[in-house]
């Protein structure tokens, strides 16, 4: 009886340990959670107008500004950022 309980307990621990790694949020190549479109605007919107100009953005967003700015008004809105393609990873994928 004790042997069965020990085996069931160990089995449950192994199951929980392996499945919890699949429940993690998507992460960038550096191990950090990728920011949402709203978080990007909040972080980069220097003039607090609710949209991003090319002067306000940096990184992959700046590189793909024209592609993301679908209405070609010179600003990135929340909706445009939500629909933007995800940037491609550069370099090795952390040993995968």
**29-64 confidence digits (pLDDT tens):** 556 788 999 999 999 999 999 999 999 999 899 999
Residue with tokens 């024209």: 66
Structure token digits, residue 25: 């949020």
pTM over 0.75? The answer is: no
CA–CA distance, 24 with 55 (Å, rounded to integer):
33
Using pLDDT thresholds of 50, 70 and 90, give the confidence band for residue 96: very low
């Amino acid at each position: 009886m004790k042997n069965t309980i020990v085996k069931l307990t160990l089995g449950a621990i192994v199951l929980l340990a392996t499945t919890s790694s699949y429940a993690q949020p998507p992460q960038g190549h550096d191990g950090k959670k990728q920011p949402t479109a709203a978080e990007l605007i909040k972080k980069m919107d220097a003039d607090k107008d609710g949209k991003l100009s090319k002067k306000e953005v940096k990184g992959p967003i700046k590189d793909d500004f024209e592609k993301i700015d679908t209405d070609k008004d010179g600003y990135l809105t929340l909706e445009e950022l939500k629909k933007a393609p995800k940037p491609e990873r550069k370099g090795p994928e952390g040993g995968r």
